[in-house]
Amino acid sequence: MNHDRVRTRYAPSPTGYMHVGNLRTALYAYLIAKHDGGDFILRIEDTDQGRYVEGAVDVIYNALRLSGLIHDEGPDIGGPVGPYVQSERKPLYKEYAEKLVEKGEAYYCFCTEERLEALRSQAEALKTPYKYDKHCLGLSTEEIKEKLSNGEPYVIRQNNPKTGVTTFDDDIYGSISVDNAELDDMILLKSDGMPTYNFANVVDDHLMGITHVVRGSEYLSSSPKYNRLYEAFGWNIPVYVHCPPIMRDAHNKLSKRKGDASFEDLLEKGFLKEAVMNYIALLGWNPGTDQEIFSLKELIEIFDYRKINKAPAMFDMEKLKWMNGEYIRKLSLDEFHEMAMPYYKETLKKEYDYKKISELLHTRTEIMTDIPSQLDFFDELPEYSIEMYVHKKMKTDYAISIANLEKALPVLKALEVWNLDNIRDSITKLIEELGVKNGQVLWPIRTAVSGKSFTPGGAYEIADILGKDETIRRIEIGIEKLKNEQ
């Protein structure tokens, strides 16, 4: 394998959904590889069988496909360094753990759960961090042989030094040193023969030729232990790229448990996948310019992982909505119309010229799920209060509203061909004849035909879509409402 080639991996656990933080890790790993013309690998980390969720691997494939992060090697497509599912690599881990035992860098531990529990309670009582006490490191070769041949359950632990310092370099956080006295002799191989996440990661990353390891900053504190493993094997240490946490507010990280949206949830809420990916790219990284809208192709070109920030990133739903609105406006009218149709069908029971509705909504929609609430007045005039006819800026009150609706009514009734241009021309002419401000005629009409103070499109567009009969019926209701309620 060519070791000069950049190789990154995305290694999710199959837990059933694509968390925004996981998706960002995948995106950054993908961008680092593709920026340098390298390989992006998918590996499934399912060594923790207790957390395995049925169908979860499909969720991962689906999310990567939707997000456009196409992997070059993985369980579904194979590749030169498979298998790409950790549970299928089980024999490898035992072999490598035993190599470390031979080198004195790891040892067999036969301690019972009771003994470990006692150590934990003791640490708690003393208020010191729990650490395994190297009890089994002192076993003689004969004792180990005997216990193994008796079939006693064991784990294999990393043998970390008690003195000295371990230093590692992170490309984002700089050089970080840890006192070896703080390092626990972590378990590498569990009693069921499965590796721990920490051990499998190191072995797999090495065997798969991974050059850059992208992960969350919560793994910073484990990195010295990883480095000791690389050094124990005599392997090259990869470039570490730790990403800052994504926060929902100043004190809480984004979390599915707290009801924060996953990638799938965001798509269901009507966000466009391109907008979500663009937004996630900027959670913890920026290009150093004012540009905020990037296609995946542009991101590949400009992505420099050294510009990832250390500071936590805030997930701002308003900012994402704004960005999504920008993406919706970039769609052609036909594309928008096609995406909006299911929402029209769901909201509107009567038949309309849907294309005209799309023309109104295209530039006024931030997320697709906003559409129903913008159209709810078309099928049925909502109950509204006559106070809506009073509008300071439009200079309307009850008297002006009644007078102008009564003057507009015959003009609209007289129209033989009902279309946007004719409606506009006839009302514009009326406004000129009356010598009043536009809003003094248009606001009452808009209020009468929609019953709402905020609508997509104005009086003309709504009247055009509603049709002649319904428009006239609603204006008549408005006049009556005003006369009765004053």
Binding residues for ATP, by number, are 256
Residue 240 DSSP one-character state: E
Alpha carbons 153 and 141: distance in angstroms, whole number: 17
Binding residues: 256
Measured distance CA(288)–CA(302) in Å, rounded: 10
- Cα dihedral sign for 313, 319, 321, 324? negative
List of long-range contacts for 471-475, beta carbons under 8 Å, 24+ apart: 471/412, 472/409, 472/412, 472/413, 474/381, 474/448, 474/449, 475/405, 475/408, 475/409, 475/412, 475/445, 475/448, 475/449
> What six digits make up the tokens of 185?
């002799």
User: Mind giving me the DSSP string for 38-97?
Assistant: -EEEE-B----GGG--TTHHHHHHHHHHHHT---SBBTTTB-TT---BGGGGHHHHHHHH
Contact 355, 321 (CB under 8 A): no
What residues are paired with 314 via a beta bridge?
247
φ, ψ of residue 395 to 5 degrees: the values are: 60, 45
What's the rounded Cα separation, in Å, for the pair 259 and 472? 47
Q: For tokens 């190297």, what's the residue?
A: 134
- For residue 343, how many C-alpha atoms fall within 13 Å in the half-sphere facing its CB? 22
- Please identify which of the residues 90, 256, 356, 437 carries the catalytic annotation: 256
Residue 168: count of CB within 10 angstroms of its CB: 19
Residues 448, 476: Cα–Cα separation, whole Å:
8
Active site residue 256: yes
Whether residue 46 contacts residue 312, with contact meaning beta carbons closer than 8 Å, is answered with: no
Residues 6+ apart with CB under 8 A from 57: 14, 44, 75
Q: Which residue has the tokens 């192709």?
A: 297
Active site residue ranges? 256
